[in-house]
Structure 1
Amino acid sequence: MVKIGLQINAQLENIEELKTNHPDYRFFFKIKCTNCGEVSDKWHDVSESERVGQSSRVPNGFNFYMKCKICSREISVDVVEHSNQSYTLDDSGKFKTIVTFDCRGAEPVEFSPQTGWIAKSVENGQVFEDIDLSEDDWADYDEKNKSAVGISEFQFQFIKLKK
């Protein structure tokens, strides 16, 4: 079992807080089998609110489960409960872990942010929901504060976390 953190880095313009619509947010990533090294060619989604692969051996199931198409090894990924974190204006321009995954037999290698992000503008400004970061940039206008808001230079990385 390996704990892997998803870190993001972005420039926030007049945004106080950026977060996912946890626990329903779908993290889309490509994964690599740690047994044979095969990297999936399609995107897989993991949501903390969904469980799959229940059996008598694993009654609670996993947030994501599959068998490697090359070596048939069982692969599972769970979102670690209470690991979701917001990315704030203070974090802007720095990498910060926003969620932790418990990975068995796999490692995520690519992340696609997709839709479902929530941003809160500064000074008790407007809340923007269902933001799509698939293009790595987003911009809008905060009517309440009469200012432009935006997210730019969105980046990610996965890091192995110490137990």
Structure 2
Amino acid sequence: MVRLLLSIKAELENVTDLQPGSDSFEYFFKIQCSSCHEVHSKLVSLNRKTILDMPTTKSTKTNFLWRWWEPLLILDCRGLEFIDFDPTGTWRCNGIDSGTEFEVDIGEEEWTDYDEKAKLPVSVMRIKGKWSKA
């Protein structure tokens, strides 16, 4: 079993504390088979609330056993490798000066808005994921 750490980086303008929008956030990944190295043609998604039956293993249920970790999360995986991360979905962040909470919809790789309290533009751009062994 391999433990992989997903780290993210993004350009944040006048916001801080970028994080998934809810406990049921759908993470999207590109994966490949550890044995034949075939890359799956579509993105796969996981969320920490989904439990799947695993009849070919000693344990009967799994949710990929992830844990929140700095900087983002760690996944335990068997028989596959996570090779890319797609940040699509609803995230949250806070205005750096005002504390205003923003709901960030990352669909086009960037989000912009205006913080009325601080009278400043805010943005989240160029979110990138990087995998490493945990």
TM-score (norm 1): 0.74
Spell out, residue by residue over 1:42-89, the C-alpha distance to the aligned partner (whole angstroms, 9 max, x if none). 111100111111559423x222xxxxxxxxxxxxxx1423x244xxxx
Aligned partner of 1:50: which letter? T
- The equivalences for 1:5-84 within 5 A come to 5-53=5-53, 55=55, 57-59=58-60, 61-63=61-63, 78-81=64-67, 83-84=68-69
CA deviation profile, 1:75-123 (whole Å, cap 9, x unmatched)? xxx1423x244xxxxxxxxxxx311111111111121111121111113
Structural mapping, 1:10-159, within 5 Å: 10-53=10-53, 55=55, 57-59=58-60, 61-63=61-63, 78-81=64-67, 83-85=68-70, 97-129=71-103, 131-159=104-132
Separation of aligned partners in 2, 1:134 and 1:159? 25
Whole-Å Cα distance in 2 between the matches of residues 143 and 79 of structure 1? 40
Aligned residues: 133
Distance 1:27 1:119 in 2: 17
What is the CA distance between 1:151 and its match in structure 2? Answer: 1.1
User: Which amino acid letter does the alignment assign opposite residue 142 of structure 1?
Assistant: D
- In 1, distance between residues paired with 2:48 and 2:10? 24
Letter in 2 for 1:40: H
Contact kept? 1:47, 1:79, Cα under 8 Å:
no
The one-letter code sitting in structure 1 at the alignment partner of 2:94 is: K
Measure, in 2, the Cα distance between the counterparts of 1:160 and 1:54: 24
- The answer to whether the 8 Å contact 1:8/1:155 transfers is yes
What percent identity do the matched residue pairs reach? Answer: 31
What is the one-letter code of the residue matched to 2:15? I
Runs of 4 or more, structure 1, over 3 Å off, are 54-57
Shift of 1:153: 2.4
Gap runs ≥5 in structure 1: 64-77, 86-96
